[in-house]
Amino acid sequence: MNRIERLFAQKPHNVLSIYCTAGFPHLDDTISVLQALEHSGADIVEIGIPFSDPVADGQTIQQSGGVALHNGMTLDILFQQLRGVRDSSHANVQIPLVLMGYINPILQFGVRKFCQCCAEVGVDGVIVPDLPVELYEREYLSAFQEYGVCNILLVTPQTSDERIKRIDTVSKGFLYAVSSAGTTGNVLSMDAEREAYFTRLAALKLQNPVMIGFGIADKTSFDDACRFANGAIIGSAFIKAIGKSQNLPSDIRHFISSIKN
């Protein structure tokens, strides 16, 4: 049982996942942000791999990625930063860590090498929004399985029940339910259409836990999402909260407290 599976076995409800961009606000902030998130009560951290053409991301995350790239963040540097992240004598971060990024940088890095590096540094899972399930099954599933890295796939309101079930059988760790069509950063409005979508997901009795993302920005939207799923993912609102931080641990603690308390 990996860290993600262990988390959901111990805490099946109200799981809070926070997205942060690697190398933002500053190149060397990545580990400090991870430590502060764990100490503040986040359950999972998704570490965004900055990319020059992030098609699923809204303005806030795009801008944070641009800053991180300007700071010099690369996949090589990220893996260097994450070495020792699980070591009790170093960073000692024990909550599940997931890398989220687009397929192009991973292909350039090498998929098998990428999975190997994830396993070596203690990354539990990967989210690649532009990796189709068919291509993943045909080309890359074996590498992820070999190194024990969860590939967390996405579904949307437009995904058919049949395809959701197929994606669920291939996904490992949890299923990422995109709340609505569009990019990250829009605040979730729980209307009848979204309620019907989330209710439909719950009725499918999927094998993976479900985490809702896109538009989760505050306690209200987090609590609304948790009524229909195992938890929710906050990205843009967190990036905004730390973008001009003068005291990361304090500001992160305050942000997490505003969601959970």
Cβ atoms of residues 12 and 62 within 8 Å: no
pTM score > 0.75 for this model? yes
User: Nearest to residue 121, comparing CAs of 152, 159, 166, 90?
Assistant: 90
Q: Would you please indicate which residues are annotated as catalytic (active-site) residues?
A: 46, 57
Host H or E run for residue 161: helix 161-170
Per-residue pLDDT tens digits of the chain, which is 261 residues long? 899 999 999 999 999 999 999 999 999 999 999 999 999 999 999 999 999 877 667 789 999 999 999 999 999 999 999 999 999 988 999 999 999 999 999 999 999 999 999 999 999 999 999 999 999 999 999 999 999 999 999 999 999 999 999 999 999 999 999 987 654 545 566 678 889 999 999 999 999 999 999 989 999 999 999 999 999 999 999 999 999 899 999 999 999 999 998
CATH of domain 3-260: 3.20.20.70
Identity of residue 5: E
Tell me the CA distances in angstroms from 97 to 43, 135, 148, 168, one per residue in order.
Answer: 9, 24, 13, 20
